[in-house]
Amino acid sequence: MTATPAVLITGASTGIGAVYADRFARRGHDLVLVARNRTRLDDVAVRLRDETGVKIDILQADLTNLEEIAAVETRLREDRRIGVLINNAGGSIGGSFVAQNTGDIAQLVALNAAAVARLASAVAPRLAEAGEGAIVNISSVVGLAPELGMAVYGATKAFVTFLSQGLSLELGPKGVYVQAVLPGATRTEIWDQTGVDVNTLPAVMEVADLVDAALIGFDRREPVTIPPLYDAGQWDAYQGLRQAMLPGFAQALPAERYRAAD
């Protein structure tokens, strides 16, 4: 791996992925940009090549298509220049769970959860062998908040956060940094997929602010970065309470409240 590794970014044609591309290009990293929309990818690549001079490769791929995601996995396994993966591609669907189409649900799980795990799996062994590199997974605060009513989307993002934390524990000692980024409401095109007018939301973060904050967490090597959370102590307390329960999970008998009364 080079001293300034190349960065592969999924969902790089717009929104969060396009801003990540901009920021890493300005840091001097070559890029591999992945998305479905070739025209938009070309626009991003042309602009950043002109403005920064970095090398940019394009991989047009639908990450829910098995053949196309396999091509991205191959690139991650074989291109030793790539030292950073930004797992950003994702989507959402509108409506309540009972109103959502089963096929749409399956596609959402494939994109938001399965693709994230597959791409991380493709690159992790090589990074661990090299003893360096980073995997950044874009999750969401919705994965911590079932009260928001986005059951499937939130479940996929809870998966991404958990996967990231598990990989951090496994890969961190081997020199590989893993970061979960949990945005709140952010001004991206994902709202068009749900039929929600983003301008009706009470507080929406701009994409550039979100990515710049996430990169500060990246530079600090935070395992979990939550840009909209002002009180970091709340996350620390949440983690502390969760970890305090761990000994209670290893019991030979059910808790007293679950035993039949005499």
Cα distance between residue 191 and residue 151, in whole Å: 16
Number of Cβ atoms within 10 Å of the Cβ of 206? 12
Buried b vs exposed e over 120-144: b needs ≥16 C-beta within 10 Å?
bebbbebbbeeeebbbbbbbbbbbb
Q: Which two tokens stand for residue 171?
A: 């890969």
Q: Which letter does DSSP use for residue 260 in this model?
A: P
Contact, 127 vs 148, CB < 8 A? Answer: no
Distance separating alpha carbons of residues 63 and 60, to the nearest angstrom: 10
Q: Is 153 a catalytic residue?
A: yes
- The catalytic residue among 153, 177, 230, 238 is 153
Active site residues: 153
